[in-house]
Structure 1
Amino acid sequence: MEIRHLKLIREVAETKSLTKAKDSLFLSQSALSHQLKEIENQLGTQLFHRVNKQLILTNAGKMVLESAERILEDLERTELSIKKYVSGSTGTLRLATQCYTCYHWLPSLMTDFKKEFPNVEIEIFHNNAADVEDQILDGNIDLAIIYDSSDRANISYHDLFRDEMYALVPLDHPWTKKPYVVAEDFEDQNVIIHSYPLESVTLFSQVLAPAGIKPKKIMQVQVTEAVLEMVRAGMGINVMAKWIIEPYLKDESLALVPVTKRGIHRTWQAITMEDEHSPQYLQNFVQHLRCNISGLCSVN
């Protein structure tokens, strides 16, 4: 049986008439009569008794109606859910970011976003920076915030902002007397990084690797607060964006020093699957990112 057959059984059972059922099913009476015979021939039994010009369900008809109501209700519920999903009123947004230190902006962003889409849940995933674009293409996450992109097919790249990275050192560090540091200055330093591989670390990809410079020691520390304490204690230096470290500079025990005369910069992007039918909430989340992170507010 097909969906149209189930709808016919349900409507005829309710109206007890092909004449009345044709109005809601938008078919002629003869077409409905033909469909009913088709179903009964397929099942090998009558589904309706003809009693006083009314169609009354047989026991077999009642069995079919029970299944029809269950199946059609499930389909209607699914159709409604899909419409809500496409319109952006409900759903789940799976988010990942390439930078471990980027989550302090998330609470205020979620507050603004939830006012617009209260029924959209946000799930935060930890993903390796090297495979975040693959995760988008595989459908494991919906949106990622990155600063290293490879212009992959079937991915949409949305520019967010550009930042500059500085060397973070104790206030009494010799570098604070320099206008900027260069690659060779890192040769005798312990450098603290947030994550491997080194190819994904901006300091290494833009400054140290091109100059063939290796620091004295490399230490991986993923927690920003721990990095700050290690820098304060003189255990190493770290290179990070000014906007990330600014909230921690109030005690004046740390200082920022430019890296190279031209500085080192990153261009941040939000990436999503290239899909013209993506839900509205996904499109709006990108605008909320621009508003909350870069100050470029254009959310409709």
Structure 2
Amino acid sequence: MLDRIHLAVIQEVERQGSLTAAADRLCVTQSALSHSMKKLEQQLGTPIWLREGRSLRLTQAGRYLLELAGRVLPQLQLAEERLRQFAQGERGSLRIGMECHPCYQWLLKVVSPYLAAWPDVDVDVKQRFQFGGLDALQDHEIDLLVTPDPVQRPGLHFEPVFDYEQVLVVARGHALAGAAHALPRQLAQEVLITYPVAPERLDIYTRFLLPAGVAPARHKTIETTDIMLQMVAGGRGVAALPRWLVQEYAARMDVVPVRLGPRGIAKQIHLGARVADLQTDYLQAFIALARSMSAQKAINLEAIQT
């Protein structure tokens, strides 16, 4: 009765806004699409849409099927992709979603040796999940989620793989450059440069400025780390980034890290996966490699600092 094409039609009509546009997207005629959906409505005994002028509004049954499509279709697509890989002699694919901008720099260091160790596994990094990665993981659109802010949900597991400190980044000639730590009030006259993320998801706000009732003079957003640090080095503002990342850039840019508050802000990068997939050998291998490389990196940084 209910086929995959029905779910795809409901999803596309919702996305495109009309049966005509959905039919074009699915490469079928509008009449064939309409006939198929009317037949389904007859079999179900309930309408899927209500017409309001030229637009369609989902009924309660239609909304249920739309939610079902969001869960089922990605899993079917994943199953087909896995079977295609098996048929071609490939091991599988590892789709990684990013939920933090600076984590990308860390991820590059893990992906390179992983590709060498697992040549029959494809790796795809999906940055479009930066702000919706949790749902993407749960809906089988990605296999691993890189995030500094895990949210526990049934069926998901988050593994901490890298400890780091979030620090303030200032120009080498800045008044705070030689300070043991920065205080919130010292940022009240500063231009704060961040990635384009809502303030309520930024540690510099939630764990440093807002508890002290302080706001920066101006908040500016920049998407790329290189440009952000060029701005900081040029005295155009300050930023908040992982200490390890700042130390790497400090070798070629006039920027220095400053602790945020007397105790600093401790963070962790986590890798999130579905519990049902944790026994997949190449997924396990990626998590283990990330953990081992991060431990070695911490040892190296400690040696440099001492």
TM-score by length of 1: 0.66
- Please name the residue that 2:97 is paired with: 96
Deviation at 1:189, TM superposition (A): 0.7
Distance 1:194 1:236 in 2: 13
Equivalent residues of 1:183, 1:211 under 8 A apart: yes
- Please name the residue that 2:139 is paired with: 138
Counterparts of residues 249-264 of structure 1 (less than 5 Å): 249-251=250-252, 253-264=254-265
Distance 1:174 1:233 in 2: 14
Distance 2:112 2:270 in 1: 21
Any stretches of 5+ residues in structure 2 without a counterpart?
Answer: 1-78, 299-306
Any stretches of 5+ residues in structure 1 without a counterpart?
Answer: 1-77
**1:30-76: CA deviations, max 9, x gaps?**
xxxxxxxxxxxxxxxxxxxxxxxxxxxxxxxxxxxxxxxxxxxxxxx
Equivalent residues of 1:89, 1:117 under 8 A apart: no
Aligned residues: 217
Distance 1:103 1:180 in 2: 27
- Please name the residue that 2:7 is paired with: none
* Higher alpha-carbon Rg: 1
Distance change >3 Å, CA 158–CA 124, structure 1 → 2? same
- Please name the residue that 2:222 is paired with: 221
Identity of aligned residues (%): 21
Deviation at 1:134, TM superposition (A): 1.1
1:164 aligns with 2:165: yes
- Letter in structure 1 aligned against 2:195: H
- Please name the residue that 1:123 is paired with: 124
Q: Bigger shift: 205-214 or 108-117?
A: 108-117
1:238 aligns with 2:205: no
Deviation at 1:148, TM superposition (A): 0.7
Distance 1:285 1:296 in 2: 16
- Please name the residue that 1:289 is paired with: 290
Distance change >3 Å, CA 137–CA 179, structure 1 → 2? same
**1:58-109: CA deviations, max 9, x gaps?**
xxxxxxxxxxxxxxxxxxxx9xx76986xx9611111012221222344442
**1:258-286: CA deviations, max 9, x gaps?**
11000011122100011157521111111
Counterparts of residues 23-34 of structure 1 (less than 5 Å): none
Distance change >3 Å, CA 210–CA 128, structure 1 → 2? farther
1:189 aligns with 2:196: no
Equivalent residues of 1:144, 1:270 under 8 A apart: yes
- Please name the residue that 1:70 is paired with: none
- Letter in structure 1 aligned against 2:152: D
- Please name the residue that 1:26 is paired with: none
Distance change >3 Å, CA 189–CA 258, structure 1 → 2? same
**Which stretches of structure 1, 4 residues or more, deviate above 3 A after TM superposition?**
81-85, 105-108, 127-130
Distance 2:253 2:104 in 1: 23
